[in-house]
Amino acid sequence: MTRSVRYSRQEIFTPIGREGQSRLQSARVAIVGCGALGSQLAETMVRAGVGLVRLIDRDIVEESNLQRQTLFTEADARTLRPKALAAKGRLETVNSEVSIEARVFDLTWDNASALLDGIDLFLDGTDNFDTRYVLNDLSIETSIPWIYGACVGSYGLVLPVLRGARKTPCLRCVLGDAPPPGSSPTCDTAGVIAPIVQ
């Protein structure tokens, strides 16, 4: 049987190679939040051939999302389609080799363990600190790594939280308690431009 060329450019990149590609294809990643950052994260994971991508988002597609949330269409906004379902539909046309699951839920401490069961990596596409602290605390409890990400205006932030053997500080280590609601700029209050998301 002829080996697929889909991932050939990743495989000839020495830090990944065939072994790394095999690891990607057996990996299970959860993306919490399917907005601007979540759209980019999801598309990157699916195009890279990650074995399973689980999309978790409670929100619906709105017209104001279309400027930066690249997985969605005007039809999704007109029908107020849930973001997780719209993203799943689009991503299935990108790479049929990847298993994509959609969960239309608000991730909370009460349901986080169930929604993230069997996952190897949490990726943050959220827009609020309450959910981020749930991810942070679950990561600490389980030693499952997560990547904090945020973008607003024209800047972005990223913090890998690798808790196995306490390799990095966690979000609480860096920020302490969650900032009070309304004390930090958001896309709704400060805007956001599409290039920073990418």
Catalytic residue among 34, 151, 170, 187: 187
Nearest to 126, CA basis, from 46, 29, 58:
58
- Judge whether 8 and 166 are in contact, CB under 8 Å: no
Residue 28 to residue 45: CA distance in whole angstroms: 10
- CA of residue 150 relative to chain centroid, distance: 11
161 touches 168 (CB < 8 A): yes
Instruction: For residue 173, indicate whether it is catalytic.
Output: no
Q: Which residues are catalytic?
A: 187
